[in-house]
Structure 1
């Protein structure tokens, strides 16, 4: 008999993600101007991640539509985010561009802000391989 593993709580995931991002050498090296707020939408759960000068300063868990403003959204199914959260993601789950071309990921909102911060956002998504899926 196997025991089902349970994902950490949303708050625990948010804290782990903030810690991983704030201590990541690559983000800190590139993130001087990495300032934005974005929605990471995993269908079952959503997070607004607020970043100032390369540091995560807040993460709102399951905010209402008008609770916390954000500039752009990265939306995908819970299963897609689970695939991103594996140590070695399968093809097409290794980056946001591949997932938008072949999977169910969508980029919405002020895409210019996403592009201006692309290297750091990409690195934050790569950190899911360490902290796990947000759902």
Structure 2
């Protein structure tokens, strides 16, 4: 499962921000979607800072102490690439399937993840449209 990288990590972050902020589902459910979380894609990391359902900031490849986050979603390149195709294969369709059957790990304050689960899940689904930068 090889993906062609056509965007820099910063371009990807900008596209992800636009897709998230314009997504009707996130806007319908995201009134209280306020948190910071890390997407660790092995070769690149991103701290997504959300405020009331809108992306406040996306830090690209921050140093470990630069940006605080409440929880992390970590996986290898192959797993993220599996999420970034229009029709994902089995076990690449959601974070739970990938955490049970692939190398995805959910770390940190999982309560905050659970409180924002629908919106985080939708943002992960947006990778099908914007791709992944790895």
Confirm or deny a common fold (TM above 0.5): yes
Q: Give the Cα–Cα distance (whole angstroms) in 1 for the partners of residues 132 and 66 of structure 2.
A: 23
Q: Which consecutive unaligned segments of at least 5 residues does structure 2 have? A: none
State the aligned residue count.
132
User: CA offset at residue 5 of structure 1?
Assistant: 4.2
Q: Runs ≥4 in structure 1, deviation > 6 angstroms?
A: none
User: CA offset at residue 134 of structure 1?
Assistant: 3.1
Which residue in 2 is equivalent to 1:85? 84
Q: Is the 8 A contact 2:8 2:133 kept in 1?
A: no
Q: Give the Cα–Cα distance (whole angstroms) in 1 for the partners of residues 133 and 117 of structure 2.
A: 20
Which residue in 1 is equivalent to 2:47? 48
Q: Give the Cα–Cα distance (whole angstroms) in 2 for the partners of residues 73 and 5 of structure 1.
A: 25
Q: Which consecutive unaligned segments of at least 5 residues does structure 1 have? A: none
User: CA offset at residue 133 of structure 1?
Assistant: 1.1
TM-score, with length taken from structure 1: 0.96
Q: 1:101 to 1:5 in 2, by over 3 A?
A: closer
TM-score, with length taken from structure 2: 0.96
Q: Cα RMSD over matched residues?
A: 1.1
